Amino acid sequence: MADADFSSSGRSAGTAGFMGSLLLLTILAVGVGAVAGLYFTDTVRRAVDAEAAATPPPAKPVYDMVSQLRSLKPLVTNLASPQDAWIRVQVSIVLDETGVEDPGVLAGHIEEDIVAYLRTITLAHVEGAAGLQHLREDLNERAIARSEGKVRELILESLVVQ
């Protein structure tokens, strides 16, 4: 009987020690978790603040308030080669209002110049992305030259080749 009492008291002492160790480890885990959470929260907050500080200010408008966007009428003409190929172009121009006396007359001259240029190109000139980019650049240069710098940019709105 003495052995039974001894094993019972040893078992309860072992259980109490185990529960105490388990409680101590749980408290330790909660503490480590809380410290790690605070550390990671602070790290994320610093990263967000650094990114917000590094964000550039909003961009300034490309054009001044004295600019005017003017749509030209759709231009339809045939290409130089092949003869049965037709092209339809719709463009807008950005004008500097301070230097333009009559925007309607200037737009008419630019339309004439675009039609004359389109009659000289072939279908191969406007094929693909590179051809479209070259066409846009050529039309932009011609509009600026024709207006003596009063046109800031020519915007190619649509292009249909048939």
- What is the rounded CA–CA span in Å between residue 63 and residue 40? 45
Q: What is the mean pLDDT of residues 87-96?
A: 93
pLDDT over threshold 60, residue 3: no
Same-domain check for residues 51 and 103: no
Position 22: which residue type?
A: L
pLDDT one-digit tens code per residue, 30-50: 999 999 999 999 999 999 998
Residue 91 sits in a domain of what CATH number? 3.30.479.30
Answer yes or no: is 61 within a domain: no
Phi, psi dihedral angles at 63 (to 5 degrees): -110, 150
pLDDT one-digit tens code per residue, 108-132: 999 999 999 999 999 999 999 999 9
pLDDT band at 24 (very low <50, low <70, confident <90, very high): very high
Tell me which residue range forms the domain holding 140. 67-161
Same-domain check for residues 12 and 90: no
Same-domain check for residues 33 and 74: no
Same-domain check for residues 16 and 77: no
- Using the structure block, give the residue that is written with the tokens 């479209």: 132
Same-domain check for residues 80 and 146: yes
Q: Which residues contact 3 (CB under 8 A, 6 or more apart)?
A: none
In total, how many domains does the chain have?
Answer: 2
Same-domain check for residues 71 and 146: yes
Cis amide linkage into residue 82, ω under 30° from 0: yes
Answer yes or no: is 114 within a domain: yes
